[in-house]
Amino acid sequence: MSEVLTVNNLKLYYFTRKGVVKALDDVSFSLKEGETLGLVGESGCGKTTLGMGLLRMPSPPGKIVDGEIIIDNENIIHLKENELRKRIRWNKISMIFQGAMNSLTPVYNIKKQMLETLLNHREMEEEQALEIIKKYINYVGLSEDVLKRYPHELSGGMKQRVVIATALFLEPKIVIADEPTTALDVVVQAQIINLLKKLKHDLNLSFIFITHDLATEAEVADRIMVMYAGKIAEIGTNDQIYGKQGPSHPYTKGLLGATPKLREKVEELAFIPGTPPDLLNPPTGCRFHERCPVAFDKCILNEPPLKEIEPEHFVACWRCYDE
Amino acid sequence: MMNDEIILSVKNIKKWFPLRRSITEVFKGKKRWVKAVDGVTFNIKKGEIFALIGESGCGKTTTGRLIMKIEELTSGQIIFKGTDTSTLSSSTEIKKYREEVQMVFQDPYASMNPRFRVRDVLYEPLIIHKKTKDSREMEKIARRALEEVKLTPPEEFLDRFPHMLSGGQRQRVATARTLVLSPNLIIADEPVSMIDLSTRAEILHMMKEVQENLNLTYLYITHDLSTARYFCDRIAVMYLGRIVELGTSDEIIENPLHPYTKALIAAVPEPIAGKENIIKDIPIKGEIPSAANIPKGCRFHNRCIYSKPLCYENVDDPELVEDSNGHYVACYRYKEINQEVQNI
């Protein structure tokens, strides 16, 4: 499989009044064609920052300091804003924002807001645009009379479907879905997950699926990338993370232990003591060492690099490789 | 520990909110209602953790608020330790009642005054309920509550403001705030849904410990089956203002009888390998209807994949009946459905 997106040494810092927050510090990974890469971590670990960074629209006062984002063999780091808008955003890479279903304009009906987006990006007749919109509304499992309705007339699941259709109708190859199921009820959540799986298959999309829920990720992702305090802790295939052997990084182990399993009787749920570090003053060495049950001297002094310990399985932990 | 003494008994309670009417409806004398809670009955035993589970809009939070007497009942009875709560009318009586029944709210970022120090947060209930005026006494109670929720040493936390605390720590303070009045029953409305996964288990663990130490009873309101199974003794599943199934946690998860419970369980993803296998077909149709427009007959029939005309023609809602020891279900066809499922 070829790679549709490669990120090399991406650094994105927030320049706040209190100091520089290194929200993404030297992040490198790639996304293959047709795969779903799951991105997990606690709140504040940089998941959403990474998503926004890939579109090159970090929320202020964030700035991309260094690194490469290569989409279709083109590094978009130095592209001009209007280039980005014309060719890259929503045409090659699009995003389903967190809570986007609540950002639909209450005063426009669905048709008007979808038309506005489409006509802004493509020069075409309104009729032609409407055809495209209808096609995608059907793709996401809605009927066409939704177009006449206003957001308050739709349920959460329906609004989320509208948002998904809007993210897709310019035919991007890469879609970043930021917590697309978090605010939804379990049944609706399952329906949306199934829809995203179907769309990925039918339209040959590559997904970056951001969530804090390891259980959802097990269901949708081919590979999992775990972030902690602005750094990648572990990348592995679904089998490597959730299989018998289990994950390698102590943080991933802790998260997985803290995820309740419905179909298994658990007497005692594990948890990770402490809280994530303040990124204004990240700890020395491994950023996880203060909460890590197996930390030793080296972890406090030196930062562990992300290393491949078996094919496709990358870990940043001194306990997982000898050196 | 749990015994069979019943601490809270909820009998066929209803809460109907009136809807705004059109002018013709006013003249015709028609009234329309949102039936948020529509005939809910359950008992909570002393020392148990009882869960109310359901999708948003099913009436679980309204039920909690009715028990707290934040909302007035439309009809029915709530009996706490032998006293009908609707007979409590004066504010002193209600205050007295709320000393014994306390609530932990969902959002720890919104439920605390940002200008209050932890000390003030914990003193406030003591002042309102006129427990003591002696500041040394208050500090003693506050320290004990903080120790109970494992915010130790207490002196480190007493003078902090909420913004200096993490989400998990705030929820601990919120729990400590309920404890200063030494309540018997705590209503916890989604206490961990806004807390990070890594600390969620820690908070539940703490709540369980507090419950065992002080012999408390919890009503745990949530949408999350997985934490309920781990945390609770019994689970009641709500759908559109009614309980459709009630039983011990293990019974509900391992041997669900109602088609709605089956669908809820089928929709929960599991953190194990072998992707794309757990949630394939969810055995349910459509989305939850509005509580202003409840289907006739069994209110679940239009989403149920097993429904037959007998479920909605000329019938009312099915009553909650006991299937086996302590396992109740409200479905006309649950026996046949389970037979059908087994045959396939």
CB contact under 8 A, B198 and A271: yes
- Tell me whether residue B79 is in a domain: yes
- Residue A271 identity: F
Same domain membership, residue A134 and residue A85 = no
Same domain membership, residue A254 and residue A227 = yes
- Identify all chain A residues contacting B204, using CB atoms and an 8 Å cutoff: 269
- Tell me whether residue A99 is in a domain: no
Closest CA in chain A for residue B270: A215
Determine contact: B12 vs chain A, CB below 8 A.
no
Same domain membership, residue A141 and residue A34 = no
Q: What is the pLDDT of residues B295-325, one digit of tens each?
A: 989 999 999 989 889 888 888 889 999 988 8
- Identify all chain B residues contacting A142, using CB atoms and an 8 Å cutoff: none
Same domain membership, residue A130 and residue A12 = no
pLDDT of residue B176: 92
ipTM over 0.95 threshold: no
- Tell me whether residue A98 is in a domain: no
Rounded Cα gap, residues A108 and A97, in angstroms: 19
- Region A107-124: mean pLDDT is 89
- Region A285-292: mean pLDDT is 91
B70 is in which domain, residue-wise?
6-343
Q: Is the dihedral of CA A211, A215, A216, A220 positive or negative?
A: positive
Nearest to A196 by CA among A225, A163, A226: A163
Q: What is the pLDDT of residues B231-240, one digit of tens each?
A: 899 999 999 9
Interface mutation vs chain A, best among B244, B275, B304, most A CBs within 10 Å: B275
CATH number, domain of A234, equals 3.40.50.300
Regarding predicted confidence, which is higher, A264 or A282? A282
> For chain B, how long is the longest CA-to-CA vector?
70
CB contact under 8 A, B199 and A193: no
In this complex, which of B198, B223, B250 lies closest to A272 when CB atoms are compared?
Answer: B198
- Region A21-43: mean pLDDT is 91
Give the count of domains, chain B. Answer: 1
Give the count of domains, chain A. Answer: 2
In this predicted structure, the answer to whether residue B14 has a pLDDT above a threshold of 90 is yes
Last residue in a domain, options A171, A202, A230: A171
Q: B138: which DSSP letter?
A: H
In this complex, which of B55, B269, B288 lies closest to A218 when CB atoms are compared?
Answer: B269
In this complex, which of B201, B268, B276 lies closest to A271 when CB atoms are compared?
Answer: B201
A229 is in which domain, residue-wise?
3-92+172-320
CB contact under 8 A, B269 and A190: yes
Confidence of residue B275 (pLDDT cuts 50, 70, 90): very low
CATH number, domain of B251, equals 3.40.50.300
- Residue A92 identity: K
Half-sphere exposure of B70 (CA within 13 A, CB side): 10
- Identify all chain B residues contacting A191, using CB atoms and an 8 Å cutoff: 282
- Region A64-92: mean pLDDT is 90
- Tell me whether residue B1 is in a domain: no
Last residue in a domain, options A132, A156, A171: A171
Determine contact: B278 vs chain A, CB below 8 A.
yes
- Identify all chain B residues contacting A313, using CB atoms and an 8 Å cutoff: none
Last residue in a domain, options A117, A142, A171: A171
**Length of chain B counted residue by residue:** 344
- Identify all chain B residues contacting A189, using CB atoms and an 8 Å cutoff: 267
- Region B120-132: mean pLDDT is 90
- Identify all chain A residues contacting B197, using CB atoms and an 8 Å cutoff: 42, 212-214, 255, 258-259
Same domain membership, residue A285 and residue A166 = no
pTM above 0.90? no
What is the bridge-based pairing of β-strands A36-40 and A206-211?
Answer: parallel
pLDDT of residue B126: 92
In this predicted structure, the answer to whether residue B106 has a pLDDT above a threshold of 90 is no
- Identify all chain B residues contacting A275, using CB atoms and an 8 Å cutoff: 166, 168, 199
CB contact under 8 A, B197 and A213: yes
If you write DSSP's letter for every residue of A76-124 in order, what string do you get? -TT--HHHIIIIIBTTTEEEE-TTGGG-S-TTS-HHHHHHHHHHHHS--
Same domain membership, residue A69 and residue A126 = no
Closest CA in chain A for residue B276: A219
Same domain membership, residue A196 and residue A49 = yes
Same domain membership, residue A149 and residue A37 = no
In this predicted structure, the answer to whether residue B9 has a pLDDT above a threshold of 90 is yes
- Tell me whether residue A20 is in a domain: yes
In this complex, which of A222, A243, A262 lies closest to B225 when CB atoms are compared?
Answer: A262
